[in-house]
Structure 1
């Protein structure tokens, strides 16, 4: 089967152009998978797992990955206050409707996982299964402060070498096994070349407004009510064993509430696992097959 991505676009409720990549058969009897990336990330983060799901010889399935507003090829919002989970949840529903998706398995990385939990509270009939990639209802302040640090006044990167060096400096300790080629791939997803030379980030830098309120003295309350809305929905949790955002205790607290959770631990990776290693992809493929039969 051909593993070719197709670009699709639709219009948000407030008139922005939204972009998604689609791969896999439109006529598959298997449930589609809808991927939602992290705060500053794009559809490209799901390339490997999307191809694996779309070309699985046993059950090939359609995979959709969305660029949330202000990221990738989606329009930037003139009002940065709209970079919020409720608005982005609406964008996910708009894209799903435009593609005729009425039931799906959600794969959400970080911010995308928060949106997936919010969907369980607002649109549970859409969800045939949920995969949370290194995200939960209770988050570690150290990880939140780190995110705030790297998206607030980020340094300029003029060359790909500078981009790679900068990424290694920020994330090298929690991704110690990545090769030089892996870091190059990461850089190509985090930056793009400008028409006038140099590089720019693949997101609206005004997204920093979303983390302005993060303060060590005022940690955000846990959102267990959204996690509990997942009751009855097949659930997988992928946890980077070096994650500084989701702690082992946070994982255990989730298991206590959901003993049936399908837990995948990813060694030598932090926040958030890259979903590109074969063992993790095989587990995701198997989970999606179980959702088909649920």
Structure 2
């Protein structure tokens, strides 16, 4: 099956129930499942190229993390945090892995999706048996997090799709060189037209609230917890870094190769944060590690 099905699963937060939407590619009976999870302001559509390339070997599941894209918004924005996302992914994996069947779950996580994968893979009894982390690690810079919070919390509206696409391209140049067709796809996935004709970004502006609440003490505690999670991971792991990444430093990546799952490290030239894995040479890196 070369085209995806659109599905959803009901999840819960302390504030109530919410629906998480996901795309499912490939044979729904395939016992090998690949879960692909996007970055903080992106969507599951980011993985269309990767999923199409791998859905012959996997059942590929690409969720919109709650608060983004086709998924519902949380009633309390304070719950837009990694533990909530991990809980939602546990529910999603339970939905897509039938009871009583031996299923193999692999994970591909970009940025925030990688953090979710790190925490989930560190838990006793984790379903994840192989993982790709795309340009993310346990070290989180507080200034960078606050900057992200300010950026994603801005209520920016565009008079046309073209204006919105120019904005998306301008703030996403660290993704590296892409064709105009690829930039169109990257933009159209995250822009939505409102009833008044204006175009907006696809997510709940409340995503910014937890970022703005970060203190130096909280940042230090979160970093320590992420290193502890990293050290608990045992599954084979591939760590991908963009050559010019400002979120995953060379020093952090090198330290990650010495600890925890001791991953193989691949650096993609000419790219910052984060490689998009929509181009053939990047897809080949994922395929070689996941499938061989």
Same fold (TM over 0.5): yes
Q: Could you report, residue by residue, the CA deviation over 1:264-292 in whole angstroms, capped at 9, with x for unpaired residues?
A: 222222212101121221121121125xx
Change (3 A) 1:98 1:258: closer
Q: Once the 2 structures are TM-superposed, how far is the Cα of residue 145 of structure 1 from its aligned partner?
A: 4.1
- Corresponding residue of 1:268: 270
- Corresponding residue of 1:110: 111
Any residues of structure 2 matched to 1:272-291 within 5 Å, and which? 272-289=274-291
- Corresponding residue of 1:226: 229
Change (3 A) 1:32 1:77: same
Change (3 A) 1:107 1:51: same
Q: Could you report, residue by residue, the CA deviation over 1:89-131 in whole angstroms, capped at 9, with x for unpaired residues?
A: 1111111111226540011111111111111233543011111
* Structure 2: distance between partners of 1:34 and 1:157: 32
Decide whether the 8 Å contact of 2:36 with 2:60 is kept in 1: yes
Residue 257 of structure 1: SS of its match in structure 2?
A: coil
- Corresponding residue of 2:201: 201
Aligned CA RMSD, in angstroms, stands at 2.2
Length, aligned pairs only: 282
Residue segments in structure 2 that go unaligned for 5+ positions in a row: none
* Structure 2: distance between partners of 1:154 and 1:82: 20
* Structure 1: distance between partners of 2:182 and 2:124: 37
Q: Once the 2 structures are TM-superposed, how far is the Cα of residue 183 of structure 1 from its aligned partner?
A: 2.2
* Structure 2: distance between partners of 1:278 and 1:183: 16
Q: Once the 2 structures are TM-superposed, how far is the Cα of residue 218 of structure 1 from its aligned partner?
A: 7.8
* Structure 1: distance between partners of 2:129 and 2:268: 24
- Corresponding residue of 1:163: 164
Q: Could you report, residue by residue, the CA deviation over 1:26-57 in whole angstroms, capped at 9, with x for unpaired residues?
A: 2335x2101111122211111111111113xx
Decide whether the 8 Å contact of 1:134 with 1:240 is kept in 2: yes
Q: Once the 2 structures are TM-superposed, how far is the Cα of residue 260 of structure 1 from its aligned partner?
A: 4.4
Q: Does structure 1 residue 67 correspond to structure 2 residue 64?
A: yes
Normalising by structure 2, report the TM-score. 0.88
- Corresponding residue of 2:185: 185
Decide whether the 8 Å contact of 1:139 with 1:250 is kept in 2: no
Decide whether the 8 Å contact of 1:131 with 1:236 is kept in 2: yes
Change (3 A) 1:90 1:247: same
Q: Once the 2 structures are TM-superposed, how far is the Cα of residue 9 of structure 1 from its aligned partner?
A: 1.3
* Structure 1: distance between partners of 2:169 and 2:38: 21
Decide whether the 8 Å contact of 2:192 with 2:199 is kept in 1: yes
* Structure 2: distance between partners of 1:259 and 1:77: 33
Residue segments in structure 1 that go unaligned for 5+ positions in a row: none
Residue 120 of structure 1: SS of its match in structure 2?
A: helix
Any residues of structure 2 matched to 1:77-92 within 5 Å, and which? 77-92=74-89
Decide whether the 8 Å contact of 1:145 with 1:215 is kept in 2: no
Q: Does structure 1 residue 94 correspond to structure 2 residue 96?
A: no
* Structure 1: distance between partners of 2:276 and 2:138: 21
- Corresponding residue of 1:9: 8
Q: Once the 2 structures are TM-superposed, how far is the Cα of residue 140 of structure 1 from its aligned partner?
A: 3.8
* Structure 2: distance between partners of 1:120 and 1:259: 10
Q: Could you report, residue by residue, the CA deviation over 1:155-179 in whole angstroms, capped at 9, with x for unpaired residues?
A: 222212221222233233x245223
Residue 35 of structure 2: SS of its match in structure 1?
A: strand
Q: Once the 2 structures are TM-superposed, how far is the Cα of residue 196 of structure 1 from its aligned partner?
A: 2.5
* Structure 1: distance between partners of 2:124 and 2:208: 28
Decide whether the 8 Å contact of 1:264 with 1:280 is kept in 2: no
Decide whether the 8 Å contact of 1:140 with 1:247 is kept in 2: no
